[in-house]
Amino acid sequence: MTVQTPSTSALLESRPTGSALAMLREFGMGLLALVTLARSGNAQDMHREALQVLKRLVSFDSAWWGEVSPGSTDSPPRNWLHGSIGLSTGFAEEWNALADADQFARASIARCGVVLCGGAGDGRHTPGGTVDGFCKRHSLHHAMAITLELPSSGLLFFVAIYRRAAGPAFRDEEAVIFGEFTRHLVQHWRDVLDRLQGALPGRMWNTYAFADGGGRLLYLGARLGQVLQQANPGWQGTMLPSTIADLAHQAPYSIAVGRSNRLTVAPCGRLLALVLEDRSAGNPLAPRERRAATLYAQGRSYKEIAERLDLSPATVRTYLRNVYASLDVHNKVQLGSALGLGTREAP
């Protein structure tokens, strides 16, 4: 069932003044908490902590969020990475097996930016069917979800929250708060990803991924996801494939993936950054290597580059050594020329 949520102003007009002011105050504090989370540098826990903030505004028993591909006439939707509160570790894998039959999820994907609410018995799945059994096993009686675009990634970002049968259905005003909160969350998340990736013109977000130290994916670009799936049949997408995660302690390193691709894995603060390099496209440098090389050619020191990109000086030296070898250059002047910069002082 789709809920056409009223405007925020209409809701406020329908509520007593004191209650409206209290709602605005709580919502404002929630948005300020999002700003704090986005600036904390704790990207690996940002979504979980943000959903805990949301829970103070809109109560729920369980939640699920992550990235999803919309599917097509030939393939069902697919969850690529996820986080959850109050759900089992195998939830995403189980959902992927029945995604084609989940009409509620399909409706959310088809109507990006619209909050959808539903409940058991409202026609969103066939009683006694596969999806009905799935919802009962996980106590997904009342559901509210929104799917949003994650620009340039090639995938969509979704958030879904649930209440058990004993809880009330989600109200219109809760749908407004949920929708506005998640839109702010996605914008802050994009800003966090921008800072992690670095200001590199022409970047392709669909070839990137970020993971925490334990190998749990936090962001995944569609192109990289497809390549990893082809190279690792049965891979579910929530964690890094073992062939990559087992070498994480050796980062930075580069590994062949398929016939024409290489994957560069490098430290990025407390995270791991993964960049797919298509050698056949004539692009020998990983984006963070290019960023480090650009700063170096512009006159920055190892220490300054390390501080700017949140790396260690040793990692910067490794990047520059790889760049010199890949571009076959021997000094800073040649480096600037190969990058199309010339040497100049950085602003």
Tens digit of each residue's pLDDT (9 = 90 or more) over 207-238: 889 999 889 999 999 989 988 988 888 898 89
Question: DSSP letters of 56-124?
Answer: HHS--SEEEEEEEE---SSS--EEEEEEEESS-TTHHHHHHHHGGG-HHHHHHHHSTT--EEEETTSSS
Nearest C-alpha neighbor of 150 from the set 67, 254, 48: 67
Residue 145 placed within a domain: yes
Both 272 and 191 in one domain: the answer is no
Tell me the three state secondary structure of residue 178. helix
Residue 345 placed within a domain: no
Both 192 and 58 in one domain: the answer is yes
The larger pLDDT score, comparing residue 58 to residue 283, is at: 58
Both 158 and 177 in one domain: the answer is yes
**pLDDT above 90 (res 178):** yes
Residue 175 placed within a domain: yes
The mean pLDDT value for 255-273 works out to 83
Residue that terminates a domain, selected from 196, 218, 250: 196
Residue that terminates a domain, selected from 153, 173, 196: 196
Both 215 and 131 in one domain: the answer is no
Residue 2 placed within a domain: no
Both 225 and 191 in one domain: the answer is no
CA distances from 299 to 256, 314, 316, 320 (A): 32, 18, 14, 13
Amino acid at 279: R
Both 171 and 209 in one domain: the answer is no
Residue 180 placed within a domain: yes
Both 19 and 167 in one domain: the answer is yes
Provide the pLDDT for residue 284.
63
Judge contact between 134 and 95, C-beta under 8 A.
Answer: yes
CA atoms within 13 A on the CB side of 26: 15
Provide the pLDDT for residue 341.
63
The mean pLDDT value for 53-64 works out to 97
Measured in degrees and rounded to the nearest 5, phi and psi for residue 320 equal: -70, -35
Tell me the three state secondary structure of residue 152. coil
Q: How far is CA 175 from the centre of its chain?
A: 22
Q: How many C-beta atoms lie closer than 10 Å to residue 3's C-beta?
A: 18
Amino acid at 129: G
Nearest C-alpha neighbor of 41 from the set 259, 161, 157, 212: 212
Residue 343 placed within a domain: no
Q: Are strands 261-268 and 253-257 parallel, antiparallel or unpaired?
A: antiparallel
Both 106 and 235 in one domain: the answer is no
Could you list the residue range(s) of the whole structural domain that residue 283 is in? 205-338
User: Could you read off the pLDDT of 20-39 as tens digits, one per residue?
Assistant: 788 889 999 999 999 999 99
CATH number for the domain that contains residue 273: 1.10.10.10
d(CA 158, CA 106): 12
Terminal CA-CA length for the chain: 54
Both 156 and 24 in one domain: the answer is yes
The chain-wide mean pLDDT, for the chain, equals 84
For the chain, how many structural domains are there in total? Answer: 2
Q: How many C-beta atoms lie closer than 10 Å to residue 84's C-beta?
A: 20
Residue 147 placed within a domain: yes
d(CA 5, CA 136): 27
Provide the pLDDT for residue 219.
94
Could you tell me the sign of the dihedral formed by the alpha carbons of 244, 74, 78, 205, in that order?
positive
| Overall residue count recorded for the chain in this entry | 347
Both 157 and 214 in one domain: the answer is no
d(CA 244, CA 266): 11
Residue 1 placed within a domain: no
Q: By percentage, how much of the chain surpasses pLDDT 70?
A: 86
Both 279 and 331 in one domain: the answer is yes
Both 209 and 186 in one domain: the answer is no
- Tokens for 155? 């995938």
Residue that terminates a domain, selected from 158, 176, 196: 196
CATH number for the domain that contains residue 59: 3.30.450.80
Instruction: Identify the band that residue 17 occupies on the pLDDT scale cut at 50, 70 and 90.
Output: low
CA atoms within 13 A on the CB side of 124: 25
Provide the pLDDT for residue 327.
74
